[in-house]
Structure 1
Amino acid sequence: MSDDAVSRYRQVYRRSLDEPESFWLEAADGIDWVSRPTRALDDSNPPFYRWYPDGELNVCFNALDRHVAAGRGGQPALHYDSPVTGIRRTYSYDELLARVARFAGALSSLGVEKGDTVVVYLPMVPEAVITMLACARLGAVHSVVFGGFAPAELAARIDDAKPKVVVSASCGVEPTRVVEYKPMLDAALGRSAHKPESVIVLQREQCPAAVGERDTDWEEMTWDEVDADAEPADCVTVAATDPLYVLYTSGTTGRPKGVVRDSGGYAVALAWSMGNLYDVHPGETMFTASDVGWVVGHSYIVYGPLLAGAATVLYEGKPVGTPDAGAYWRVVDDYGVVALFTAPTAFRAIKKEDSAAELVGRYDLSSLRALFLAGERLDPDTYQWATDALGVPVIDHWWQTETGWPIAINPKGIGLMPLKPGSPTVAAPGFDVRVLDDRGDELQAGQEGAICVRLPLPPGTLPTLWNDDERYVSGYLSTYPGHYLTGDGGHVDDDGYLFVMGRTDDVLNVAGHRLSTGSLEAALAGHPAVAECAVIGVADDLKGQVPRALVVLKAGVDAATDGELIRAELVARVREEVGPVAALRRVDVVSALPKTRSGKILRRTMRELADGGSPTVPATIEDAGVLDALAPVLRDGGGAVSPG
Structure 2
Amino acid sequence: MKPACSYAATHAASLADPAGFWAAQATHLHWDKQPENPLSQDANGFYRWFAGGELNTSFLCLDHHVQQGRGDQPALLYDSPVTRTRRSYSYAELLDLTARFAGGLREIGVAMGDRVIIYMPNVPEAVVAMLACARIGAVHSVVFGGFAPHELAVRIDDARPSAIICASGGMEFDRVIPYKPLVDEALAKATHKPAHVVVLQREFVTAELQAGRDVDYQTLLRAAPVPALPVPATHPLYILYTSGTTGRPKGVVRDHGGHAVALRFSMEAIYDLAPGDVIFTGSDIGWAVGHSYIVYGPLLRGCTSVLFEGKPVRTPDAGTFWRLVQDYQVQVMFTAPTAIRAIKKEDSDGRLARQYNLSSLRHLFLAGERCDPATYAWAQQLLGVPVVDHWWQTESGWPMLATLVGLEGMPAPRAGSAGHPVPGYDVHILDEVGEPVAPGTTGLVAVKLPLPPGCFPTLWNDDARFHESYLAPFPGYYLSGDGGYRDHEGYTYIMGRVDDVINVAGHRLSTGEIEEILAAHPAVAECAVLGIADSLRGQVPMGLVVLKDGQTIGEGQLEKELVAAVRATIGALACFRTVLCVARLPKTRSGKILRKTLRQLADGEDFALPATIDDPGILDEIRAGLARRGVGVAFETTKST
Q: For the superposition of Structure 1 and Structure 2, which TM-score range results when normalised by the shorter chain?
A: over 0.9
Alignment of 1:182-221 (within 5 A): 182-213=180-211, 219-221=213-215
Of the candidates 6, 9, 14, which is equivalent to residue 8 of structure 1?
6
Residue 579 (structure 1) aligns with = 571
Given that 2:243 and 2:250 are in contact with CA atoms closer than 8 Å, whether structure 1 keeps it comes out as no
Alignment of 1:243-642 (within 5 A): 243-250=236-243, 254-415=247-408, 416-559=410-553, 562-635=554-627, 636-638=629-631
Residue 108 (structure 2) aligns with = 110
In 2, the alpha carbon distance for the partners of 1:232 and 1:253 equals 43
Instruction: Provide runs of 4+ in structure 1 moved above 3 Å.
Output: 4-7, 43-47, 250-254
Q: Rate the CA distance shift 1:30–1:6 in 2: closer, same or farther, 3 A.
A: closer
Summarize deviations over 1:83-141 as a string: whole Å, max 9, x none.
00000000000000000000000000011111111000011110100000000000100
Cα deviation for residue 233 of structure 1 reads 1.0
Larger CA deviation: 37-46 vs 99-108: 37-46
Residue identity opposite 1:511 in structure 2: A
Q: Rate the CA distance shift 1:527–1:34 in 2: closer, same or farther, 3 A.
A: same
Summarize deviations over 1:330-363 as a string: whole Å, max 9, x none.
0011111000000000000000011011111111
In 2, the alpha carbon distance for the partners of 1:253 and 1:148 equals 23
Say yes or no: does 1:138 pair with 2:132.
no
Residue identity opposite 2:118 in structure 1: V
Corresponding residue SS for 1:475 = helix
Residue identity opposite 2:367 in structure 1: A
Given that 2:444 and 2:482 are in contact with CA atoms closer than 8 Å, whether structure 1 keeps it comes out as yes
Corresponding residue SS for 1:74 = coil
Residue identity opposite 2:169 in structure 1: C
Given that 2:163 and 2:194 are in contact with CA atoms closer than 8 Å, whether structure 1 keeps it comes out as yes
Residue identity opposite 1:587 in structure 2: V
In 1, the alpha carbon distance for the partners of 2:413 and 2:464 equals 40
Summarize deviations over 1:421-480 as a string: whole Å, max 9, x none.
100110111111111101110111111110011111110001000000000011111111
Alignment of 1:88-237 (within 5 A): 88-213=86-211, 219-228=213-222, 230-237=223-230
Given that 1:403 and 1:460 are in contact with CA atoms closer than 8 Å, whether structure 2 keeps it comes out as yes
Cα deviation for residue 376 of structure 1 reads 1.1
TM-score, normalising length: structure 1? 0.96
Q: Rate the CA distance shift 1:307–1:252 in 2: closer, same or farther, 3 A.
A: farther
Given that 1:440 and 1:480 are in contact with CA atoms closer than 8 Å, whether structure 2 keeps it comes out as yes
Of the candidates 23, 33, 40, which is equivalent to residue 35 of structure 1?
33
Summarize deviations over 1:515-555 as a string: whole Å, max 9, x none.
00110000110001000000000100110000010000100
Number of equivalenced pairs = 630
Residue 15 (structure 2) aligns with = 17
Corresponding residue SS for 2:88 = strand
Summarize deviations over 1:288-339 as a string: whole Å, max 9, x none.
0000000000000000000000010110011011111110010011111000
In 2, the alpha carbon distance for the partners of 1:615 and 1:231 equals 50
Residue identity opposite 2:292 in structure 1: S
Q: Identity percentage over the alignment?
A: 56
Cα deviation for residue 627 of structure 1 reads 1.5
Larger CA deviation: 348-357 vs 417-426: 417-426
In 2, the alpha carbon distance for the partners of 1:196 and 1:338 equals 42
Cα deviation for residue 481 of structure 1 reads 1.2
Given that 1:155 and 1:189 are in contact with CA atoms closer than 8 Å, whether structure 2 keeps it comes out as yes
Given that 2:559 and 2:577 are in contact with CA atoms closer than 8 Å, whether structure 1 keeps it comes out as no
Cα deviation for residue 639 of structure 1 reads 7.4
Cα deviation for residue 6 of structure 1 reads 13
In 1, the alpha carbon distance for the partners of 2:318 and 2:245 equals 31
In 2, the alpha carbon distance for the partners of 1:435 and 1:254 equals 27
Residue 639 (structure 2) aligns with = none
In 2, the alpha carbon distance for the partners of 1:551 and 1:401 equals 28
Summarize deviations over 1:30-70 as a string: whole Å, max 9, x none.
21110122421003656410000121100000000000001
Given that 1:251 and 1:620 are in contact with CA atoms closer than 8 Å, whether structure 2 keeps it comes out as no
Residue identity opposite 1:607 in structure 2: R
Structure 1: runs of 5+ lacking an equivalent: none
In 2, the alpha carbon distance for the partners of 1:46 and 1:531 equals 48
Say yes or no: does 1:77 pair with 2:72.
no
Cα deviation for residue 172 of structure 1 reads 0.4
Cα deviation for residue 412 of structure 1 reads 0.6
Given that 1:288 and 1:300 are in contact with CA atoms closer than 8 Å, whether structure 2 keeps it comes out as yes
In 1, the alpha carbon distance for the partners of 2:245 and 2:524 equals 31
